[in-house]
Amino acid sequence: MIKKTFLVSAIAASAFACGAQARDQVQIVGSSTVFPFATAVAEEIGKSSGGKTPIVESTGTGGGFKLLCAGAGDNTPDVANASRAIKSSETEQCASNKAGDIIEVKIGYDGIVVANSRSAPQLSLTLKDIFLALAKDVPDADGKTKPNPYKTWKDVNPSLPDAKIEVLGPPPTSGTRDAFVELAMEGGCKTFPWVKALANDYKDAFAKICHSIREDGAFIEAGENDNLIIQKLVANPNAMGVFGFSFLDQNTDKVQGSIVENTEPSFDNIASGAYKVSRPLFFYVKAAHLDTVPGLKLYLAEFISEKAWGPEGYLAGKGLIPMPDEERAKVHSDVAANAKL
Amino acid sequence: MTDDTDFPKAVAAAALLQRRYRAETRFRWYGILATALALFFLGAMLISIVIIGHSAFRQTFVKLDIFFDPQILAADGKTDTDSLRRADYPALVRTSLREMFPGVSGRREQRQLYDLVSRGAPDSLREQVVKNPALIGSRASLWLLSSDDVDLFVKGEISRDTPESERQLTDLQLGWAEQIVAQGAADLRFNTAFFTTGDSREPETAGIWGAVAGSFYTLIVTMLLSFPIGVMAAVYLQEFAPKNRITEMIEVNINNLAAVPSIVFGLLGLAVFLNFLQMPRSAPLVGGIVLALMTLPTIIIAARAAILAVPPSIREAALAIGASPMQTAFHHVAPLAAPGMLTGAIIGMARALGETAPLLMIGMVAFIVDIPEGVFDAATVLPVQIFLWADSPERAFVAKMAAGIMVLLTFLIAMNLIAVILRRRFEQKW
Amino acid sequence: MPNSDKIALAAPVLLKDRASAPTGFSDAAFARRRWLRSLWERPVYLLLVLSSLLAILTTIGIVLSLLFESLRFFEQVPLTEFLFGLKWSPQTALRADQVGSSGSFGAVPLFTGTLLISLISLVTAGPIGLFSAVYLAEYAGKKTRDAVKPLLEILAGVPTVIYGFFAALIVAPMLRDAGGFMGVGISSESALAAGLVMGVMIIPIISSLSDDVIASVPNALREASYSLGATQSETIRQVVLPAALPGIVSAMLLAASRAVGETMIVVMAAGLAANLTANPFAAVTTVTVQIVGLLTGDQEFDSPKTLAAFALGLVLFIVTLCLNITAMRVVKKYREKYD
């Protein structure tokens, strides 16, 4: 008995010991969409500063916020990447767990594409098509909803091919899911006048109709790994995938984005705002860790430098769509002031 | 004794015999076929891995004329290490490329030109300048790492025949790459970086050493925990345990634990070590503990078999000269059973080396570039690194993944060979 | 160690005792030394017992942690829905203002998917493993045996992530193309691809266990059969295999247990969508894939999503435990004692 408790307490002591010593490595969690950019910056400062490279984990935007807002201690991450802005409920959670100040940093724009393999024909979709193909319950003309009856794209819109609806997309932990639901699904949903009328006064009912995605197998939640979606698209020419533009940009030889509302998903169209399904990308830094974790300020400074996020920067080469010049300068000065860089 | 008049029966008997012989031959051939099929699968797997992975051991370098421009490197005259580290080395590479292909204009075309060289190439320039600041202001012809797409082209995996939209290199880039090759400025060299660097976002700079070091530290923790405990448990069960229900229960437990799916151990690690004890994620420490729990039954079973193989006469001789049971066990029996125990331990370690599922659960799936230097540093292990590379989009990571598999298999074969050699050398026939 | 060495080792002790009497090393001093030795040996003995108990501690740890989290899960989702429900849609909303899936946790499609892939793997590995064991044990010469057996052991030692890579990148596309060629729609994540590769993985389990069992059938039985005029194949089919049957069945059960608990091959090669089907060409998902999927990412231990992974783990543990215990019982109960 004594030996057993000794053994257990020895292990526990070592655990607490390594928990107690201050962390010397930046820990980043969050969005899989921002993951390629965060890792690029992390690797860059690791090499140029000669210090430790930050560790980046792809947990999804929602998961990232939960981890970030779990507290202010050393065992919580320093940065949460996000492919959407933080919600008020998450800010409240941070406050109630005493996580301290969270500095928001907008890093650029990203489009959400509905892509398929190049060996299949490119589709031209409207937001209404997307909504009708993926909604759980579709509204009909006279104020009622019915479970989604459409099995093929042709059912949704006769001009689309007669192929089974099979879409791989992000789970609810993903910010891409939230953004997709708010931009594409809502956009298509609002083409029904009576649903649009609900938007102001009956928010819950509106959300229920417009945000629910079908669960009968036509929409498959493919986890936080967008690269895996691309591989599955290549393996299955019939399937479509929902993910960020940067992944399309890095794999144009394998997949193509569908034309949405008569706009091609391209770098210029997203930057100009012509491609409707686009959203800003962020990361959120825990202010309390700026002085305690070495390398965090360096990471922040590098990410908001022209070398990284400018139009000539290496992040643009990875598919990030930079903000316009004035916006970039403003975010830079705001963040530099907030974080006392 | 055969009745010669009963001819039809004899014929029937002979026919039956022929059928039985044919059935015999068929049966034998089924056996040969089955064995051959099993071996064929093994061979097919290994050969396909080698075919896909061998190209990752060589990497393309391009020769560039680099001018160490003092305006870029030390514009304000500062030549201390920090300023030199932070200078814009990619600019040196970009200038050199523009000199190599004058007449390239427009942002899009220039971007394509710069993409010919690896994003990690300026790092070798940085290292050279930091080590030797006297280089500033000089010109040199250096071999720099090419991008992964140019590397694929040089290895012959990109052809002009595929339509441009389906190729990783545009027509322009293809033309430049062909020019570079024609000038003799491209060279395929042995990829030492693969064995010395850690993970990277760019396939051409990704290496396996971080994962190897992580596996090493994890296995050390596993060995330090499971070997002593396993040997002690085996000694107890074989030498001292009374034959009662409790002992039987322990033995049944050990046999069952040996067959529990590895993912359940991952769940255990997640619930108890990460959630309850709040141990650090991604550290070899937790991974080592989980793997130790998994290997423990294997080591106990192997050690018991080794102890069982020691003949009773050794024990009786020791007892006869006044040794206590404890002394018998540790001074006489255990040393003789040691080779068998060690063999079992090595085989257990080999299995632990290849485990992926439990480590996925405890967070060893982050992007970690640095080489771990201790048991508490964040790290990943070889099989998890292979798994992560399998999910990466760049075509060149496929070859890297297969190369990683070859490294893993080499370690496994080496460990198994050591175990077999140990067994052969120290095996005693009683 | 030759006997002379043992005596040489023991000599100091023996001689010391002999010499001690005349030099006055008293019995009391010797008794004291023995008491000191037992003082040291007691804690060591305790350490040995505790090491053995660690195995039980681990099992208890596994059961408790799985049970604890699963019970919390079953507070939120009824057991009957989990065990008998047909809809698996676990990706519930993360926040109050988000709309996620409806959170149905009916695990039957997962069970059928696991069953389908395991069945395919057993159908693949069973005949190959058994026939190669028969060949190696009965027909092959010593040289062939010595060459082939280690090679089959290599199959057992290959890490499963390598099998997963093989299944996902080579076998699945090959099957898909073959299916397209023949006009049959084979999914790129078909149960067939994962099942075939898993079958290759468990061939060595069936083969080496069956080999041992077949080899342990006493020769007297074979020779008796030969003396009656049976050919070798008839002997094997009618005498040896029936005698070895309990061991072979046990080997199959152990292989099944391994197939059910396998993770990496299915994570890389099987599908993600729960699909209630018996079609080997369709994509199905298994219990282990869902455990991995539910636990990477959001790790909060309050949501039914994370806890569902533990419930699935508990089911997996119980099923493999039953298979293992049955395997051991079968051997114990039906094995004939020949001596």
Domain extent listing, chain A: 25-109+280-338, 111-279
Residues of B in contact with C292 (CB under 8 A): 263, 357, 360-361
**Residue C15: other Cβ atoms inside 10 A:** 10
Residue B2: which pLDDT band, with cuts at 50, 70 and 90? low
* Contacts A19 to B, Cβ<8 Å: 278-280
- In this predicted structure, what is the pLDDT of residue B31? 92
B140: part of which helix (H) or strand (E)? strand B139-145
Are C259 and C139 part of one and the same domain? Answer: yes
**How far lies B338's CA from each of B250, B294, B332, C47, C162, in Å?**
23, 21, 10, 19, 32
Model confidence, pTM:
0.84
C26 shares its domain with C117: no
Cross-chain residue pair C48–B351, CB shorter than 8 Å: no
pLDDT value, residue A231: 80
Window from A112-121, C127-136, C269-278 with minimum mean pLDDT: C269-278
Element (H, E) at B188: strand B186-190
In the structure encoding, which two tokens stand for residue B124, read together?
Answer: 């070798």
Please give the structure tokens belonging to residue A132: 């009708």
**H or E element, residue B67:** strand B58-67
The residue in chain C having the minimum alpha-carbon distance to the alpha carbon of residue A86 is C95
Please give the share of chain C, as a percent, with pLDDT higher than 90.
33
Tally of domains within chain C = 2
pLDDT in tens, C12-63: 555 554 444 455 557 788 888 878 887 888 888 888 888 888 878 888 888 9
The domain in which residue C7 lies consists of 3-76
Tokens of B31: 């056996």
- Residue B367: which of A48, A56, A230 has the nearest Cβ? A56
Q: Are C278 and C108 in contact (CB under 8 A)?
A: no
Looking at the complex, does the CB of residue A5 fall below 8 Å from at least one CB of chain C? no
User: What single-letter DSSP state applies at residue A263?
Assistant: B
* pLDDT tens for each residue of B237-248: 988 888 888 888
Distance between C100 CA and the closest CA of chain A, angstroms: 6
**Please, which residues 328-347 of chain B have a Cβ atom closer than 8 Å to chain C?**
336
Amino acid at A60: G
Strands (E), A12-171: 27-30, 55-56, 79-82, 102-117, 124-125, 137-139, 145-147, 167-169
**Cβ neighbours of residue A87 closer than 8 Å, sequence gap 6 or more:** C95, C97
Q: For residue C140, which residues of chain B lie inside 8 Å, CB to CB?
A: 35
- Residue contact C301–B249, C-beta within 8 A: no
Gap from B130 CA to chain C (nearest CA, Å): 40
pLDDT, mean of residues B88-114: 85
Partners of B368 on chain A (C-beta within 8 Å) are 53, 55
Rounded Cα distance between A31 and A79, Å, is: 11
Domain check: are C240 and C184 in the same one? yes
| Mean pLDDT, residues C183-189 | 81
Q: Chains contacting A with at least 3 CB pairs below 8 Å?
A: B, C
Both structure tokens of A129: 């098509």
C39 touches chain B (CB under 8 A): no
Residue with the bigger pLDDT between B105 and C127: it is C127
Find the angle CA(B42)-CA(B47)-CA(B50) to the nearest 5 degrees: 130
Q: Examine the domain organization and report whether C70 and C203 are in the same domain.
A: no
The answer to whether the CB of B187 falls within 8 A of the CB of B60 is yes
**Is C183 found in the same domain as C275?**
yes
Which chains pack against B, by 3+ Cβ pairs within 8 A? A, C
Q: Are residues C49 and C184 in the same domain?
A: no
Task: Classify burial at C251, counting beta carbons within 10 Å of its beta carbon; exposed 0-12, middle 13-18, buried 19 or more.
Answer: buried
Answer yes or no: is C95 within a domain. no
Closest CA to C46 of A100, B304, A1, B351: A1
Report the residue from A87, A181, A236 with minimal CB separation from C95: A87
At residue B419 the predicted structure's pLDDT band, cuts being 50, 70 and 90, is: confident
**Inter-residue contact B311 to B430 (CB < 8 Å):** yes
Q: How far apart are the first and last CA of chain B?
A: 53
| Top-ranked range on mean pLDDT: pick from A80-84, B156-160, B278-282, B375-379 | A80-84
Q: Do the beta carbons of residue C299 and residue A57 sit within 8 Å?
A: no
3-state helix, strand, coil in chain C (%, to 5): 75, 0, 20
* Complex-level ipTM beyond the 0.85 threshold: no
- In terms of Cβ atoms closer than 10 Å to its own Cβ (0-12, 13-18, 19+), residue A325 is exposed
Q: Token digits for C204?
A: 């060595």
What are the beta bridge partners of residue A220?
A168
HSE toward the beta carbon, residue C235, CA cutoff 13 A = 21
DSSP state of A218: S
Same domain, C69 and C110: no
How does pLDDT run across C211-255, given as a tens digit for each residue? 988 988 899 999 999 999 898 889 999 999 998 998 999 999 999
pLDDT at residue B201, rounded to an integer: 84
What CATH code is assigned to A25-109+280-338? 3.40.190.10
Residues C218 and C279 in one domain: yes
Are B38 and C129 in contact (CB < 8 Å)? yes
What is the largest distance, in Å, between two alpha-carbon atoms of chain A? 76
Q: How far is B110 from chain A (nearest CA, A)?
A: 10
Whether A19 sits inside 8 A of B280 (CB atoms) is yes
Find the Cα–Cα–Cα–Cα dihedral A140, A144, A145, A151, rounded to 10°: -30
Domain ranges of chain B: 7-54, 57-197, 209-426
**Cα–Cα distance measured from residue B259 to residue C205, given in angstroms and rounded to the nearest whole number:** 12
Helix (H/G/I), strand (E/B), else coil: A282: strand
Q: Which CATH superfamily is domain B209-426 in?
A: MetI-like (1.10.3720.10)
| C98·A211 Cβ contact <8 A | yes
Confidence band (pLDDT; 50, 70, 90) for B5? low
Task: Tell which of C76, C93, C121 closes a domain.
Answer: C76
Same domain (yes/no): C196, C270: yes
Mean of the per-residue pLDDT values of chain B:
86
For residue C89, is it within any domain? no
On chain C, the residues whose CB falls within 8 A of the CB of A175 are none
* Within-domain flag for C145: yes
Please check whether residue A160 is in contact with residue A125, taking contact to mean a CB–CB distance below 8 angstroms. Answer: yes
* DSSP assigned state of A220: E
pLDDT of residue B111: 81
Q: What is the tens place of the pLDDT at every residue in B200-222? A: 888 888 899 999 999 999 999 99
The Cα C201–Cα C122 span in angstroms is 10
- ∠ CA C52-C58-C63, nearest 5°, is 140
- Tell me the two tokens of residue B105: 């204009």
Q: Render pLDDT for B346-380 as a digit per residue (tens, 0 to 9).
A: 989 988 998 888 988 887 788 888 888 888 888 88
CB pairs under 8 A between B and C: 254
**What is the pLDDT at residue A11?**
47
Spatial separation of the C-alpha atoms in residues C164 and B39, rounded to whole Å: 18
Output the tens digit of pLDDT for each of chain A's 341 residues.
Answer: 434 444 444 444 444 444 444 578 899 998 888 998 999 999 988 888 878 899 998 888 888 888 888 888 888 899 999 988 898 888 998 999 888 889 999 999 999 999 999 989 999 999 999 999 999 888 887 788 888 899 999 999 999 989 889 999 988 878 888 889 989 999 898 888 888 888 888 888 888 888 888 888 888 888 777 877 888 888 888 899 999 898 888 888 889 999 999 999 988 888 888 898 889 999 999 998 988 888 899 999 999 988 899 888 888 888 899 999 999 999 999 999 988 87
CATH code, residues A111-279 = 3.40.190.10
State the CATH number of the domain containing residue C176.
1.10.3720.10
| Residue numbers in C near B324 (CB within 8 A) | 37-38, 41
pLDDT band at C336 (very low <50, low <70, confident <90, very high): low
